[in-house]
Amino acid sequence: MTGDRSAADTEGSGAEGSGALDAFRRFFALERDVLVLSAAMFAFSLGFQMTNRYLPEYMVALGASGFVVGLFGTFGNVISALYPYPGGAVSDRIGSRYALTLFGLLSTLGFLVWLVAPGIGPVSVAGLVVEPWVWIFVGLVLAQAWKSFGLGATFAVVKQATAPSRLAAGFASTETFRRTAFLIGPVLAAVLIGLRAEFTVSFRYVLAVGVVFGVLGTAVQHVLYDASGDSLGDSFAGLARIREDLREMPAPLRPLLVGDTLVRFANGMVYVFFVLVVTQVFQVGLDTTVALGGFAYDVDLSPQAFFGYLLGVEMLVALLIMVPASKLAERVGLKPVVAVGFAVYAVFPVVLIYAPALAGSALPLWAVMVAVFAFSGLRFAGLPSHKALIVGPAERGTGGRVTGTYYLIRNTVVIPSAAVGGYLWDFVSPEVAFTVAAVIGVVGTGYFLAFGEEFEAYA
C-alpha cells in the first residue's frame, strides 16, 4: 500500500515537492497513508467526543444510579476488549474499505439510539420495566464499532509508513488530528448544551449533530479511503491465531503492558465520573463578566456546559504538547516520555477530587477546575511515544496483530475497573474511589519505571 502511493506522490510533486508543504509533512512524519487515515478518523472522533463524555450525566438524568454509571463504564471496557478481533474477521471477508464503511454506519446508528432514548420511555417486558437509560448501553454497542475496529489498522498503517526512529512523530500526527476533534467536539457540545436549560433536551441537540457527523464521515471515508495495498486482512484469523499471538508477544512489551494495565485500570475506575465531579459534587459553572475590546460580556455557563469547555482546555494542552514531546523522545528516548504521561494519569484523580479543598478561597472554583484540566492535558504528552513503544518491537507486517494482542490483554483486565469505581463511588464515597484509583496508578507507573524497556531505535 505504502510503496505505490508514495511513488505516486513523488511523481506528482515535481519541483514543488521540496517546498514548504513537503517540509511540513516530513517534520510531522505525515506520510500520505498517515494523512488519509488521520482525516478518516476526524469525523468519527468528533461525533464520539461530542457525546461520550456527557453520557454519564445523560444516564443520571434518565434515572440511572452512580453504580449503574460504573457498570456502563465496565460495559464499554468489555466492548473495547472484544471488538478488535471480530472487526478484523469482518475485514478478512469483505476488505478494509467496506468494513470501515459498515462500522461507520453502525456507529452512526448508535448515536441515533442515544438520541431517541428519552422518547422511548419505560417499557414493560414480561413484568420487567426497561428504563430509558438501558438504551444508552444498546447505543454503545453500536457507537463504539468504528473506534474499536480501527485500533489495529491505525497502528499498522503508521508503522509501515514511518521510519522506526520517527514512530513517535508519526503517531503524534494521527493523534493531533484525533485530539483536534477531541478539542472541537466538547466545546461545540458545550455551546449546544447552553441553548436550553433542560439537559436532556439540549444534549439531544448534541446527539443530532453527532448523527450528522457520523453520516458525513461514513460517506467521506467510503469515497476517499484507499485500501488497495492493505495486507491487514489476515492479521486476525480466529482463536488459534489469537492464542499464537499471545504466546509470541515481543518480550519488551511485557513490562510496558503490566504498568500500562495498572494505570488504565486506575483511570477506568473514575473516568466516567469526571463529569459528575464537576456537575454534581462541586456543581461548578461560570458566571462572570468578561471585558473585551471596550465591551463587557456576561458569561453564564451551567456546570454541564462548563464541563465541555474544561475538556476543551484539556485537549488544547494536549495538542500543544504532543508533537514537542515526540520530538523530545527522539533525543531522550521513549521510556521517560511515556513515564511522564503515566504519572499524570496516576495522580489526576486525587488532583481533581482534592484540588478545590486545597486551593480554599485563594482562587475561584472555576479557575481551579481550569488549572486541574489543563494539568490533565499533560498526560497526552506520552501518548505518541506509548504507541511507538507498543508497535516498535513488532516485526514488519505484524503491527496490527501485535497491537490487537496488546490491547486485548490490557482491555480485558481493565473490564471491571469502572464497576469497582462505581461501587466505591455509590457505597463508600467519591473521595475513596478517586484515592484508591490514584494509588493503583502510582504502582503501575513505578513498575514501568523499574522494569520497562526502551525501543532500540530510540536508545
Return averaged pLDDT per consecutive 10 residues of the chain, 459 residues in all: 40 45 48 62 85 92 92 90 69 66 89 93 80 93 79 58 64 71 88 89 94 87 65 51 71 88 96 94 85 72 92 92 87 91 96 89 90 95 85 57 76 93 95 98 97 73
Q: What is the pLDDT of residue 228?
A: 62
- d(CA 349, CA 437) in angstroms, rounded, equals 7
Q: What is the DSSP code string of 187-256?
A: HHHHHHHTT-SSHHHHHHHHHHHHHHHHHHHHHHHHHH---TT---GGG---HHHHHHHHHT--TTHHHH
- d(CA 455, CA 459) in angstroms, rounded, equals 6
Q: What is the pLDDT of residue 161?
A: 59
Inter-residue contact 174 to 29 (CB < 8 Å): no
- d(CA 90, CA 407) in angstroms, rounded, equals 18
β-strand partners of 291: 296
- Residue 266's SS3 state is helix
Q: What is the pLDDT of residue 9?
A: 43
- d(CA 120, CA 69) in angstroms, rounded, equals 20
| Residue 242: φ, ψ to 5° | -60, -45
**Measured over all CA atoms, what is the biggest interatomic distance in the chain, rounded to whole angstroms?**
74
Q: What is the pLDDT of residue 178?
A: 74
Q: How far is CA 401 from CA 80, 187, 246, in A?
A: 15, 35, 10
Which bin fits 127, alpha (ψ -120 to 50), beta or left (φ > 0)? left
Q: Single out the residue of 403, 374, 377, 382 nearest to residue 323, CA to CA.
A: 382
β-pair type (123-125, 128-130): antiparallel
> pTM of the entire structure?
0.77
Inter-residue contact 287 to 300 (CB < 8 Å): yes
